[in-house]
Structure 1
Amino acid sequence: MLNHTRLRFADASDGAVQLLALDQDAFSDWLKTQPKSVQTWVKAQGFKAASGSVCIVPGEGGSIAMALAGLGDATSRARGRFAMAAVAEKLPAGTYQIASGHPADEMEEHALGWLLSQYAFETYRAQPPHAARLVCPDALDRERIEAIAAGEALTRDLINTPTADMGPDNLEAAARALAESHGAKIDVVVGEALLDQNFPMIHAVGRASATEPRLIDMTWGNAGPTLVLVGKGVCFDTGGLNIKPGASMGLMKKDMGGSATVLGLAHMIMALGLPLKLRVLIPAVENSIDGSAFRPQDILTSRKGLTVEVNNTDAEGRLVLADALALADETPPDLMICMATLTGAARVAVGPDISPFFTDDVPFADALRDGARTARDPVWEMPFHAAYEPLIEPGIADLDNAPKGGFAGSITAALFLRRFVSNTARFAHFDIYGWQPAAAPGRPKGGVGMGARAILAALPKALNL
């Protein structure tokens, strides 16, 4: 799934068309500096540098003299990102080079947006390629941007693939392929062996499926600080015996979006050779229904020894994550990050475009906010609000997987997970959506990575790399 040749820059070419990226606020002043013929042509085309707009300026003999790309004004840039992705989709065939003169972070956004605009999900149907290619702007790290784009494409492919072809076994195969491509080690615990090796909640959630549940454990790197990424791998969620209505089940192929995101992020980290030790843990299950399905009111004993009363089988993600988090916590890493499509409450709070995160680690939160701005990957900090701890304590067991009342659902889920990382000083949990509900520049409708680029940008400061 990493064979995305489209998501690469063109080699430098003397024949590349110059592409001028123009701010709408400064466009009039720029146009006055151009020859009269150019002014007349641009005005005739109605080009005013609106965000994502394009104007081709003809040269001699039918050639292209230059292309103009609109970046919009300050308001439009605040409301959206990756204007250059929209430009790339509109340009005619050819190789283009963005004229210099913009700050490095803006040039990186333009370059990455261009590559992301080339993504297409082609597993089941060939998609027409965008014909415009970009030369990597000078002074940018070509390999880094291509690695980020490839990681994002991997995440999108995994989420977009329906569960018939992306069940727990297929997710394992994708992780194995990624590990092989980077020389990483991988170990997988499957089926009844989960009970033998003390992963009881992963087994309980996945045992009703025709495809056995499993825990995927990938490691890479021999030196530096240790980073653990834990990703929710619920490949389909019927809701279990608390079955979802049809309308709520329609997008449940994306309920493994956390695992898809950590695998995409893992590719970025390994491809860039970051000086750290990486561990990726993915509890991969399908929450199905048969005679062996776990039930409401069951009490499960977790790997950590904490007991959990199941008050809703549709709150299964936190159960499988808990066993994986407990495993990682037994040898505490320098930083542990959990990513999951966990609660509808998070979507109500921040919508589909923002990655809410929870952490007690102030330096990491600060680094993450800075990284999110530079990577154009929005995040928002939510609180581990200790006053809500009693809500996840049912009395009959240590923990409740689905507190009654309906308030603060994303917070109570995060508090539940935090109970399983008591030895790890630095922990963050992301409650992501993993889906783009409507096409936007650089982000077609469908599976999408959330938070990975922000984390990648934050790691050097957060781990002193």
Structure 2
Amino acid sequence: MGDLPPMSVLLKKPTARATPIRVVDRSTVAEQLAAAPAPTRRWLEATGFTGAPDTHALVPAADGAVAEVWAGVRAASHPWALAALPRALPAGNYRLSADGLAVAPEVAAMSWELGGYRFDLYKPAKSEPATLLLAKSAAAERGLLLATAIASVRDLVNTPAEHMGPAELAEAVKLVAEQHGAEFRQTVGDALLKAGFPAIHAVGRAAARAPRLIELHWGDPKHPQLTLVGKGVCFDTGGLDVKSPEGMRQMKKDMGGAANALGLAQMVMALGLPVHLTLLIPAVENAIAGNAYRPGDVIRTRSGLHIEIGNTDAEGRVILCDALAYGAEAKPGLMIDLATLTGAARVALGAQLPALFCRDTATARELVDLGLELNDPLWHMPLWRDYHGGIESEIADIVNTGRGPQAGAINAALFLEDFVPEALPWLHVDLYAWNDAARPGRPAGGEAQTLRTLLAWLERRYR
């Protein structure tokens, strides 16, 4: 992934020489203008500054330098409040002004740092973002922690499959494990069969790069067990049921669930949550070769259930079933899986709303409300058991595709549910991990989704 870029937020006492930024919104801009010096007011009125979100105006000093920046936001508490500024302002040091709206240090640090994010592994950015000087505090440090984890997720998803195969994904997990004193191990290639992961092996065996199950273990075994599972399909051709060129174009992102699970694990460890954490990533390429698994094959899984393969392009749920069954063996108090699992979830909810499946309605509603509050949304979808007949096979226990195009995301979730014991609290998040279009702080390309919401919910649960 290359070296980490320099931080665009410096946690140090702001100096008077740093250019002040006055934050306003549409409801406060008139009051701020009325209190401003007459030359500033006339300048801003002449330039048409209205305090609209993600806009700014440079106010000149008498010598032609920038004396002050006025920045419009949706709200001072909005998580992306300052994200439009780092790449738009002239190079130099800036500080938040005591005039105008007060932006919380966590929001300021995260939104500014991610506003400067660019994936520059192959094409360096033409210029560095402006720098924000922010007084050191626990809240500001948390904001930078969030930004670092989110940027790491983006980097993993953005990296082409040529340089982000199963082995490279394992190295990324190993690096995070070393940073936090966690245990790392992996089961690779034919060793998957001996270790009892036949479904992971079946999907990945046709690729030149060996499939594997990646594991990270951290924390005190006496603490509550939390297990995270991430779908790690590093590239998806669709297998023998090959995708169209349009459908295959962005399939480097099919390991977005793994990247997001790793990002969440990274934050759990960095914040020292009192949990015994396990991260499981089945990592494969879904390739086409003479030994590729076929439509109509029946595969025995770790749990003992047999899967009939209705379509080789529904491979994510096949590798996840072995990982979920393995994770459940430790009887965790909570298991969460994250996966770029179905196009049906995108048809239903679009790119910005990951689908949440949960057996407990009260938990689901709490997560939806928290996601809306944090502007990191997810949306509750039903585990509608009446549809289970659509994924039942005449020659095996279950088939990896439904009988028709309807309820595709629900069918996939019901498939996974068969591998999670009924008494085990479990969340399944079907996410996109990608921005089709750029917004401030969220450039087009790989994206972390639901991480801030899940982290805040886990903190409530375990603090």
Secondary structure of 1:24's match?
A: coil
8 A contact 2:231–2:256 mirrored in 1: yes
Q: Give the structure 1 partner of residue 97 of structure 2.
A: 99
**In structure 1, what is the Cα distance between the partners aligned to 2:74 and 2:265?**
34
Report how far residue 439 of structure 1 moved: 1.1
Secondary structure of 1:141's match?
A: helix
Q: CA 1:319/1:103 → structure 2, altered by over 3 Å: closer, same or farther?
A: farther
Report how far residue 392 of structure 1 moved: 1.3
Q: Give the structure 1 partner of residue 341 of structure 2.
A: 342
Q: Give the structure 2 partner of residue 354 of structure 1.
A: 353
**In structure 2, what is the Cα distance between the partners aligned to 1:241 and 1:210?**
16
Q: Give the structure 2 partner of residue 458 of structure 1.
A: 457
8 A contact 2:55–2:72 mirrored in 1: yes
Matched, 1:314 2:313: yes
Aligned-partner residue type, residue 160 of structure 2:
P
**In structure 1, what is the Cα distance between the partners aligned to 2:74 and 2:455?**
28
**In structure 1, what is the Cα distance between the partners aligned to 2:88 and 2:362?**
42
Deviating 4+ runs (over 4 angstroms): 100-104, 137-140
Matched, 1:280 2:282: no
Per-residue deviation, residues 314-346 of structure 1 (Å, max 9, x unmatched): 000000000000001111111111000000000
Q: CA 1:409/1:68 → structure 2, altered by over 3 Å: closer, same or farther?
A: same
Q: Give the structure 2 partner of residue 58 of structure 1.
A: 60
Report how far residue 89 of structure 1 moved: 2.3
Report how far residue 361 of structure 1 moved: 2.9
8 A contact 2:177–2:183 mirrored in 1: yes
Report how far residue 452 of structure 1 moved: 1.1
Where in structure 2 are the equivalents of 1:73-92 lying within 5 Å?
A: 82-92=80-90
Q: Give the structure 2 partner of residue 270 of structure 1.
A: 269
Q: CA 1:108/1:141 → structure 2, altered by over 3 Å: closer, same or farther?
A: closer
Greater helix share, structure number:
1
Aligned-partner residue type, residue 51 of structure 2:
A
Report which stretch shifted further, 421-430 or 8-17: 8-17
Matched, 1:215 2:213: yes
Secondary structure of 1:234's match?
A: strand
Per-residue deviation, residues 97-152 of structure 1 (Å, max 9, x unmatched): 22356577x66434322111111112112113443112336866122111111111
Q: CA 1:199/1:404 → structure 2, altered by over 3 Å: closer, same or farther?
A: same
Matched, 1:415 2:417: no
8 A contact 1:158–1:260 mirrored in 2: yes
Report which stretch shifted further, 373-382 or 128-137: 128-137
Aligned-partner residue type, residue 219 of structure 2:
G
Q: Give the structure 2 partner of residue 433 of structure 1.
A: 432
Per-residue deviation, residues 370-402 of structure 1 (Å, max 9, x unmatched): 432343211111111111111111222111101
Identity of aligned residues (%): 44
**In structure 2, what is the Cα distance between the partners aligned to 1:296 and 1:136?**
57
Per-residue deviation, residues 203-247 of structure 1 (Å, max 9, x unmatched): 000000001100001011115322111000000111111011111
**In structure 2, what is the Cα distance between the partners aligned to 1:366 and 1:137?**
36
Structure 2 gaps of 5+ residues are: none
Structure 1 gaps of 5+ residues are: none
In the superposition, the TM-score normalised over structure 2's length comes to: 0.94
Aligned-partner residue type, residue 427 of structure 2:
A
Matched, 1:395 2:398: no
**In structure 1, what is the Cα distance between the partners aligned to 2:395 and 2:178?**
46
In the superposition, the TM-score normalised over structure 1's length comes to: 0.94
Q: CA 1:435/1:10 → structure 2, altered by over 3 Å: closer, same or farther?
A: same
